[in-house]
Structure formats: structure tokens, C-alpha cells
Amino acid sequence: MIPIIGGLGAALAFAVSVLASARASRLVGAPSTLAGAMVVGLAIGLPIALLVSPPPDLSGTNLGLAAMAGFGNVSGLLLTYVAYRAGAVGVVSAIASTEGAIAAVIAVVAGEVLVPGSGVVLAVIAIGVALAASAGGEEEGVPIPRDRALRAAGLALGAAVCFAFGLYGAGRIASVLPLAWAILPARFVGVAFVAVPLAVTGRVRITRAALPYVVATGVAEIVGYVAYTLGAREGIAVSAVLASMFAPIAAVAAFVVFRERLSRRQIVGIATIVVGVAALGLLQS
């Protein structure tokens, strides 16, 4: 039951993050949205981590893995937020959700053995990405130009690659760090390399209208990672599969919130991605 609750909780939290960050990015831009969300996340997570346990001693390989987890996550979020300004939220979130599939490929390159049948599933996911990126769609009654849609899809795919490296690093470092500290590397990186430089140069722009969405993004990201980690401790496969369902939840919500209209090919592509990601998670169990 815990893996199910954790996975579903993560999916709902990540879906909220997708919608809130998409709105914030369109109001104040991707860098300011990311900076604000990382500050909120660190403000929530760091005091809790300090109460739970003292700061861990990171050095050598562990420091490198923590950096990979942090920079991978932050880079992925930044590319995703930029993509939300160009294309359909449903398509962007679906393509970004292939992070787990790409992380599996990275693990194979690093020496792990690919589970039988995974190659076919990865090919199916690739087909889904191609279909999802094949048309522009419509938002708020206005057609999305094909060139913008392709740019958004490319950014989302780049985000998935970054997220994948972040996942690989986080997976390796999770056995070393307590839960409260394991979710913080991205927040430290985001604050140090995005929020602080923007603040120093006076380029942070968070309006009153965008503030609730920025705060919601930061809170949802923390809640999602905590829920997933708690569920994954009892059952990684189930939690991972259910957590990846944030993509279809976000796509349906975007239909209501942003009045997105996707072509049949895009809908089939999103469905193919979701099924492929779920299948890969089950195979890896």
C-alpha cells in the first residue's frame, strides 16, 4: 500500500508542479520561476533536514554524484520551464517524463545489464515522442505554430536527458544520504547557481500575480520527491510507474486550465509514452 500511496502522491504533486510552473514561466520567465521555486524548496527542506540529522559528510565520488543529481535536476527544470512558454504543456510534460527510460540507458552505458524486453519498450517510447512532437496543437483557442511546437519538444527532450542524469546521480547517492538530505542537492544548486546570480545582477522578476504559482511549484516539487522516495523504499517499480502518471494527469489538467487542444497523433503519442514508461518500470522490477 505504501508504494501505491507514495507513487500516486508523487504523481499528483508533480502534476501540480507542472501546471504551476507553466503558468509562472509564462508570467515572469523560466529563470525567475526556477530561482523562486528553488529558494522555496530550500527554505522548506533545509530546516527539516537539520532537525532530522546533521549535515552528511560528502567527499570524492559521493560529492560528484550529489552534484550530478543537483545539476541534472536544475538543468532539466530550466529547459522544461522554457519549453512551457513555447509549446503545449501536455506534450512537454509527456516527453519530459521519459527521463526514467533515458536513465535506464545511462545505467546500461555505466555497466548495468538491460532487462530483456527493455530495448523494444525504449523503441516504443521513442515512437511516442516522435508522434507527440509531430504537430503544434492549440492553446486558448490559438493554434501553436509547428516551429514553436518542435522547439518545445526539443527542449523537453533535452530536459528529459538532464533529468535522467539527475535521476542516476540521485539513485546512487540515495543509499548514502538520509531522506531529508537526499532531496536537497538540486535546491542547493538552484539557489547557488541560479537564484543568487540573478539576485546579484537584479534580474529576478517575480510579480504579485506569479508569486502564488512560484511558491506552489517549490512546495509541490518537495512534496513529490518526498512521496516518491517514501514509496520507493517499499517498492521502487510500483512507485516509479505511478509517479510517471503525472504526465497524463498534467495533460488532462492543461486541457481545462490552458484550454489546450491536441491532435489525435499527439494524443496517441502521449498515450504511447505513458504506456512505454509504465512498462519499462515494471520490467525493471
The pLDDT assigned to 237 comes to 61
Say which residue, 107 or 6, is predicted with more confidence: 6
- Mean pLDDT (the chain, rounded): 86
Task: Kindly give the residue spans of alpha helices, DSSP state H, lying in the chain.
Answer: 2-28, 30-52, 61-84, 89-96, 99-109, 118-132, 146-173, 179-182, 185-190, 196-200, 211-232, 236-243, 246-257, 264-284
The string of pLDDT tens digits covering residues 151-183 is: 999 999 999 999 888 888 877 777 778 878 888
The pLDDT assigned to 97 comes to 85
Strand partners, 191: none
The DSSP 8-state label assigned to residue 194 in this structure reads I
- 82-96, 101-115, 194-208: which has the highest mean pLDDT? 194-208
The pLDDT assigned to 262 comes to 80
Q: Is the pLDDT of residue 121 over 90?
A: no
Scanning the structure block, which residue is given the C-alpha cell 527542449? 155
Q: Is the pLDDT of residue 235 over 70?
A: no
The string of pLDDT tens digits covering residues 249-260 is: 888 888 888 888
The string of pLDDT tens digits covering residues 83-99 is: 999 888 989 998 998 88
The pLDDT assigned to 16 comes to 96
**Residues 125-147: what's their mean pLDDT?**
78
The string of pLDDT tens digits covering residues 20-33 is: 999 999 999 999 99
The pLDDT assigned to 65 comes to 86
3-state SS class at 80: helix
Q: How confident is the model at residue 238 (pLDDT cuts 50, 70, 90)?
A: low
The pLDDT assigned to 38 comes to 97
Q: Is the pLDDT of residue 236 over 70?
A: no
The pLDDT assigned to 204 comes to 92
The string of pLDDT tens digits covering residues 41-98 is: 999 999 999 998 888 877 777 888 889 989 999 999 999 999 999 888 989 998 998 8
The DSSP 8-state label assigned to residue 90 in this structure reads H
The pLDDT assigned to 32 comes to 97
Q: What percent of the chain has pLDDT over 90?
A: 39
C-alpha cell at 9: 502522491
Are 193 and 74 within 8 A, CB to CB?
yes
The pLDDT assigned to 167 comes to 80
Are 75 and 31 within 8 A, CB to CB?
no
Beta-carbon contacts of 180 under 8 Å, excluding residues fewer than 6 positions away, are 45, 48, 49, 52, 53
Q: Which class for 171: exposed (0-12), middle (13-18), buried (19 or more C-beta within 10 A)?
A: middle
What is the full DSSP assignment across 210-244?
A: THHHHHHHHHHHHHHHHHHHHHHTT-HHHHHHHHT
Q: How confident is the model at residue 264 (pLDDT cuts 50, 70, 90)?
A: confident
3-state SS class at 143: strand
- Tell me the residue range of the domain where 126 lies: 2-284
Q: What is the rounded end-to-end Cα distance, in angstroms, of the chain?
A: 17
The DSSP 8-state label assigned to residue 209 in this structure reads T
Number of domains making up the chain: 1
